[in-house]
Amino acid sequence: MNKVTIDFFDQAHFLSNLKASPDGRRAAFLECQCRDEGYAKSLHLCDGDHTSRLTSEGVMDYVWENDQTILFSARRRPGQKDSSRYGEQTDLYRIDIRGGEARHLISLPLAIEQMEKLNDRELLVTAEVRKDCPDFALLTEKERQDVIDRRKAEEDYQVVTESPFVLDGSGFIEGTRSRLFCVDLDNGKIEALSEPLESVSQFTVADGRVLMSVKKFEVVRGEQDGLVCLDLVTNQRRWLIEQGRMRIRQIGWRRGQAVFFASENKTFGTTENPKLYQLDVETGEIRCLLDTENHIGSSAVMTDVIYGSGQQVLFSDEAVLAVHTDRYADEILRIDEHGSAAVLSWPGAIQAIETVNGQLWLIGLQDQKLQELYSWDPETKTTRQLTHFHDELLAETEIAKPEHFMVSRGGYELDGWILKPADFDEKRTYPAILDIHGGPKTAYGEVFFHEMQFWAAQGYIVFFCNPTGSDGRGDQFADLRGHYGQIDYEDLMVFTDAVLDRVPQIDVQRLGVTGGSYGGYMTNWIIGHTDRFRAAASQRSIANWVSMIGTDDCGFTFDTDQMDADPWNGMLKIWDQSPLQFADKVKTPTVFIHSFEDYSCPIQEGMQMYNAIVHHGVEARMCLFKGESHGLSRIGKRHHRVRRLREMTDWFDHYLKENAHE
């Protein structure tokens, strides 16, 4: 049997964007693999019995044109990626699912993001535009070239007039909006449907009416959206929900009425879970279909072997189907006027759902497998695996199985796991690593996690849990506002004690700790409050909330909300929750992993903590990655992902294996 290797993700197929054909008889999806130069997506088709590949790599998004043809967007022509730096451009292709090569259909002066079919000849699309020329797609070719020349002349400068002006994974977003357009595929005519200063985050169309969630701003891009209905026949446009009232998530149509998930953020702040609402477009009457404090509408279960996702809510006249995380596993809820009920419990994580041939299809992970496409029959209550991308790979590889147990903490219990090497020997002793998830409002579960599986294959016991602040257990459990580093730290230490009691084979002198984002914050916090860990790896971390608030991509919303203070009215409270304050207490050798283009936890956070502990005589190392964002461990370049994991593993090997008792 083979062991999980450091580059095991190379062999993974990442599935996403599951969409049924108009007749509901089959579905398409995107399959992606990691390449040296990036991530390459291709379009696949499944009818329930057979899966086939439709295109070569390079697909961006797609939409069913009819039962036999699919339109997809791509940038395939030489030099096209470079030209898009200055001007918006996307090519559309048409492919017949019955056979034949994809044919180029039209080139559009739009940076297309989302597509939806309007009728037999028109598409609705959202596309990124820039405030310096929001009508770029509507100009003549000569006028567009003048804009491109002007942008080239200004490329050495970045002028900022908005906030936030950066977004992780996108870089500088100053002056950008997502605008809604109608595209005529026959003649290439483009019509703008939203205003220049509006940013449309999502839209859906039914019976000639477009429902869209919108932010309109000139300087400050707020957290909360508005909901707009546009009648394409009369061109009448109405705000159904004024901007600033709610943070709107998924939207859809049901029996001619608008339905949407949204939170007002009044009780539990910016991380408050959404409720499901239904709004009568004619009368404006709004009512709540599902009032819950539980996570609903997407999966909260973490993994590092996915790339992209898909629709996790399905709207229909009969009911709404939505992915829901219950503690550490997902389920699919059916919601209607009579309430909600779980129709499918899934022992893992779900990334996309769709209805095909009267069945529920999903892309997900379970039982320590990598992603596959599955169907669930509501009559027989049986699940069938439809794709088999990884059967042979997993059959030849030793995969460790996590052992779930619970730890009592006063009035609640923590879910935790221990991942032992597949060849675990009770007569041996082992080094161990505490792995802390990000968020903090996410959750670990019983799904394949490459980082942990690799360390188990290297002879480590890995243990992990969902402390207070995690998702899947309601708003109250997830609420850490103003108390970072307090009860969550205590939870992690009590959990560590329980693991050591449960597994006497762990050498208490050879403990490591790591985590990314919030997990990096907690790693920094832990090494400033205890020296029980022999080595640490702090990834994309937070050291100083005061500096975070002024530099990251959500500081004046998320950060001030989570600190329950701002620098003008609660500086000491913010500083008290900052690991940097306790850097002079650190004794644990620590490696810091950070990315230059991380705008969620900016690079100076890792730098501050590194410099602080080095100046206090602690052994440390910092590895900074050029051209990477906050998502390095999941969507980073292939060789960067390998180097990241090698840096941490070498560090742990040195302190937990080679020199453990020095």
Query: Hey, what's the torsion of the CAs at 153, 155, 159, 165, to 10 degrees?
Result: 150
Q: Does the pLDDT value for residue 77 go beyond 70? A: no
Give, to the nearest 10 degrees, the angle between helix 518-527 and helix 487-502: 80
- As a whole number, mean pLDDT of residues 485-497 equals 98
Long-range contacts of range 135-144, CB-CB < 8 Å, 24 or more positions apart?
A: 135/192, 135/196, 136/87, 136/88, 136/109, 137/88, 137/108, 137/109, 137/110, 137/181, 137/190, 137/192, 138/190, 138/192, 139/109, 144/87, 144/109
Q: Is 525 among the domain residues?
A: yes
**Helix and strand counts by DSSP (H, E) for the chain:** 13, 37
Which residue, 499, 420, 402, 511, is CA-closest to 458?
Answer: 420
Helix (H, G, I), strand (E, B) or coil at 341: strand
Give the chain's mean pLDDT: 95
Percent of the chain, pLDDT > 70? 98
Query: For residues 319 and 312, what is the distance between their CA atoms, to the nearest angstrom?
Result: 14
CATH number at 591 reads: 3.40.50.1820
Least confident window among 76-80, 455-459, 640-644: 76-80
538, 591 contact by CB (below 8 A): yes
As a whole number of Å, the CA-based R_g of the chain is: 25
Q: Does the pLDDT value for residue 662 go beyond 60? A: no
Q: For 573, phi and psi rounded to 5 degrees?
A: -65, -40
Q: What is the pLDDT of residue 83?
A: 52
Q: What is the pLDDT of residue 410?
A: 83
Q: Is 505 among the domain residues?
A: yes
pTM (2 decimals)?
A: 0.96
Beta bridge partners of residue 321, listed in sequence order? 314, 334
Confidence grade of residue 189 (pLDDT, cut at 50, 70, 90): very high
Q: Is 417 among the domain residues?
A: yes
Q: What is the pLDDT of residue 78?
A: 59
Q: Is 90 among the domain residues?
A: no
For the chain, the farthest-separated pair of C-alpha atoms sits apart, in whole angstroms, at 79
Confidence grade of residue 439 (pLDDT, cut at 50, 70, 90): very high
H helix or E strand, kind and range, residue 620: strand 620-625
Q: What is the pLDDT of residue 569?
A: 93
Which residue, 49, 46, 57, 52, is CA-closest to 20?
Answer: 46
> In Å, how far are 42, 98, 128, 174, 491 from 101, measured between CA atoms?
13, 10, 29, 39, 57
The sheet that has 38-46: what strands, in order across it?
14-20, 27-35, 38-46, 51-53
Q: What is the domain extent for residue 502? A: 400-658
Confidence grade of residue 79 (pLDDT, cut at 50, 70, 90): low
Query: For residues 441 and 448, what is the distance between their CA atoms, to the nearest angstrom?
Result: 19
- As a whole number, mean pLDDT of residues 317-338 equals 95
Give, to the nearest 10 degrees, the angle between helix 638-653 and helix 450-457: 40
Beta bridge partners of residue 140, listed in sequence order? none
Q: What is the pLDDT of residue 222?
A: 86
Query: For residues 548 and 565, what is the distance between their CA atoms, to the nearest angstrom?
Result: 13
Q: Is 20 among the domain residues?
A: no
Q: Is 31 among the domain residues?
A: no
Q: What is the pLDDT of residue 223?
A: 84
Confidence grade of residue 88 (pLDDT, cut at 50, 70, 90): confident
pLDDT digits (tens, 9 = 90+) for 560-604: 999 999 999 999 999 999 999 999 999 999 999 999 999 999 999
Q: What is the pLDDT of residue 87?
A: 80
The label of the residue with tokens 């147990």 reads 405
422, 457 contact by CB (below 8 A): yes
Helix (H, G, I), strand (E, B) or coil at 370: coil
- Domain count of the chain? 1
- As a whole number, mean pLDDT of residues 125-135 equals 94
Q: Does the pLDDT value for residue 250 go beyond 60? A: yes
Q: Does the pLDDT value for residue 380 go beyond 80? A: yes
Q: Is 116 among the domain residues?
A: no
Confidence grade of residue 401 (pLDDT, cut at 50, 70, 90): very high
Q: Is 551 among the domain residues?
A: yes
For residue 103, give every residue at least 6 positions away whose Cβ sits within 8 Å of its Cβ, in sequence order, or none.
93, 94, 95
